[in-house]
Chain A
Amino acid sequence: MKLRNKIAGMAVLACSASLLSAPAFSQETIKLGLSIPLSGSGANWGIGSQWLCDEAAREVNASGGVKVGGKVYNFECVAYDNKYNAAEGTKVAQTLLRKDGAKFIAGSLGTAPARAMQSLTERAGVLMFTTAWGPSIKGPNYPLTFTQMNTPLELVEPLIRYIKKTHPDIKTVALLNPNDASGQDVEVIARRVWEDVGVKVIASDWYERGTTEFQPIAAKIAQLRPDVVDLGGAPPPDAGRVFKELKAAGWKGIQVVEAGTGADGLMSTGGDAAEGTYLGAAVNFDDPSATDLQRRLNEGVKKATGESVNAIQIGFYDAVKALKAAMEKAQSIEPKAVAEALPQVTFEGAYGTSAFGGKDTYGIPQQILVPVIVTQVQGKTLRQVDRLDSQELKERLQKASQ
């Protein structure tokens, strides 16, 4: 047979073979962008968040992917370092949206870079999740932005009320916050709630992130002899140092870190002085009451960062699971359609069944409904002392089961 015919014959055979082996579904990937700090002091938060996104994506892909319109999609997390400032946040946003073509941002950590991201996502019709706290980050003007963790608006009130209930005699509180976005956001709300429950705010001070010398400010606070010292948005290692200095200065009282995300840093720098501290944004997935899923996630984050998982990072796992549920409900991978479906679905997040709501507070349902967990340092471990499930979620689940 002539060479030309041989080649033609082989080509025909090859084509038909490939047709026969074509899968019933074609596989495509949906990129989930992450704008997180991966260097500097926030690095551990970022690294843990990335691991949790990857883990959630793994689970989704392993259990058959996201089925929309007869196709199967896999998730892929793409993360870039936003260095906790707006300029880098803009670069990350541009890279994710314009270069990588991502249509979904599974998480943005850090208020300034989150705002930079939002500036682009709302205009480009991209759906964005954020851990940023300020109430101005969401609302009817930002229909594609969803908050993936409890913000001070959800956290602070249950925490402070619990403390006042448990220690009814407290009369005065001194606030100390880091001079950054979280500190500024928490302080405003904390001050209001303390006054509401009848505890007088006798001082509200600020320190620069990066300070390690807390002796002078601790001496100042100790002298005022407040019943409660509230460290608001201070990162746990800073808080531990402050409490240690307070103890050395002779102060004793109720210790609160509202935005306290984890006890490890607190206990390592605070030692004995950390005993009894109440934390508002920490979770203890080592606790006997933790589910298997929570334990597994905690182990994974511990291996990646050296610290236990915290409430900020969990939001990244939840967002991915929420996206799968919303995409399948909307039967679409267009951000606008998914955004409309998101408040209507429930999904299995790290805390169990969760959903999005909060219309009464924010004007549109963009707030994730997860429990507020109050923890306390007791004898070198973190114990859960109170759990407040979202009222709105409870009602919704009840209605669904009727």
Chain B
Amino acid sequence: MQTLTQLILTGLQIGALYVIFSLGLTLIFGVMKIVNFAHGQFFTLTALLIAVLYPFFAGQGYSHVMAFSLVIAIGILASLVLGYLLYQFGFRFFQRDLAGSFILSVGFVLLIEGLLLHYFGGAVRAVPHFVEGSITVLNVNVTYQRLVLIFVSLVFTALLYWVLGHTRTGKAMRAVSIDHEAAMIQGIPYKKIALTGFLIATFLGALAGAVMAPLAMVSPTVGADYLVKGFIAVILGGLGSVPGAIVGSLFIGFIESFGGFYFDPSFANIAIFVLVMIALLVRPNGLMGNG
């Protein structure tokens, strides 16, 4: 019984991270109908900045909480700036062009990853936990950091739901994702909405990097693995669907947890890919998508 609880909690936590990550991906697709391969770079940049700046600030005498809050803010801000640049000088011209935007994003990945490797070096860095220690929940040992992750994920998912459902911007984004021409006729400022959507997605990617940094091995290539799984989650759930992204992410989290335990991580990876392909056969637009 204890094993089962452990596995469920792990699956939940792994899934929670993918949720934050894939919400951004699905949002961009919904609003701009593009697939952004460079989404993982926001994750990486934030995580790297935190890894590098935290020791600096801690050394300067800031308290742990102060230093951490500061570097998280800086990391997320840097990613937002990067996101803005990518939008203005790139994605803005490729909306609704699937192939073009995809290739452009690949170009960005090569460029950004190359620059990050050049400036930060290839070594893996460690980031201390935001909250040290662990507690025993239901007979299972869980570190506080993982609980923080689940908590952050819940909070921001709820926030996103609220924004999409109850604010003008959110409703405009939903309108655009359903039928952008009709939305424009209604007077919705499409360009502004696209930018807003892109920046929200960027924020979510950066946030994922911030919460995961203490638990991952931070290096310029850390975003890649999460990116692939994030895409899988998004296709599984249905591109453009927020509940779909959540369902897809949790699904992958559970397979990774259970598969990794009963078999091994390598097998779990293969299983994820195969299951996604099967799911798409049954529901070609994703579990909850509508094209």
Tell me the A residues contacting B by CB distance below 8 Å: 39-44, 47, 176, 179, 205-208, 210-217, 219-220, 223, 237-238, 240-241, 248-250, 264-265, 268-269, 271, 305-307
Contacts and interface: CB of A to CB of B under 8 A. Distances in A.
Interface in B1-52: 3, 6-7, 10, 14
Contacts of A264: 123
B233 to A, nearest CB: 14
A84 to B, nearest CB: 12
A305 B122 contact: yes
A250 B141 contact: yes
Nearest to A214: B265
A307 B258 CA distance: 35
B259 to A, nearest CB: 7
Interface of B: 3, 6-7, 10, 14, 114, 117, 121-126, 134, 141, 143, 215-217, 219, 221-222, 224-225, 256-262, 264-269
A213 B135 CA distance: 20
B209 to A, nearest CB: 12
B37 to A, nearest CB: 16
B7 A219 contact: yes
Contact of B265 (A39, A41, A208): A208
Contacts of B215: 212
B123 A179 contact: no
Contacts of A269: 124, 126, 217
B266 A268 contact: no
A213 B256 contact: yes
A40 B125 CA distance: 15
Contacts of A306: 121, 123
A41 B122 CA distance: 7
B121 A207 contact: no
Given A212-B216, A217-B260, A268 B114 contact: no
B260 A43 contact: no
22 contacts: A176-B264, A206-B264, A206-B265, A207-B265, A208-B266, A211-B265, A216-B10, A216-B256, A216-B258, A217-B260, A217-B265, A219-B7, A220-B260, A237-B124, A238-B217, A248-B141, A250-B141, A265-B123, A265-B124, A268-B126, A271-B126, A305-B121
Contacts of B261: 216-217, 219-220
A205 B117 contact: no
B265 A216 contact: yes
In the A-B complex, the 10 residue pairs with the closest CB atoms: A216-B260, A43-B122, A207-B265, A205-B264, A237-B124, A268-B126, A44-B122, A206-B266, A306-B123, A210-B225
A207 B263 CA distance: 10
B55 to A, nearest CB: 11
Nearest to B128: A271
Contact of B264 (A41, A207, A271): A207
A206, A217, A238, A240: most-surrounded residue (chain B CB, <10 A): A217
Contact of B268 (A40, A216, A250): A216
B126 A307 contact: no
Nearest to B253: A213
A176 B264 CA distance: 9
Contacts of A210: 221, 224-225
B219 A215 contact: no
B10 A215 contact: yes
A241 B216 CA distance: 8
Given A208-B266, A213-B260, 20 more contacts: A39-B114, A47-B122, A179-B266, A205-B265, A206-B264, A206-B266, A208-B265, A210-B221, A216-B256, A216-B257, A216-B265, A217-B264, A219-B7, A219-B10, A219-B261, A220-B261, A269-B126, A271-B126, A305-B123, A306-B121
A265 B258 CA distance: 28
B143 A212 contact: no
A241 B217 contact: yes
B219 A41 contact: yes
B85 to A, nearest CB: 23
Nearest to A42: B122
B267 to A, nearest CB: 8
Nearest to A236: B124
B256 to A, nearest CB: 6
Contacts of A179: 266
A207 B270 CA distance: 11
Given A216-B268, A220-B260, A248-B134, A268 B141 contact: no
Contacts of A40: 221
B271 to A, nearest CB: 12
B122 A216 contact: no
A248 B143 contact: yes
A213 B143 contact: no
A344 B12 CA distance: 61
A283 to B, nearest CB: 17
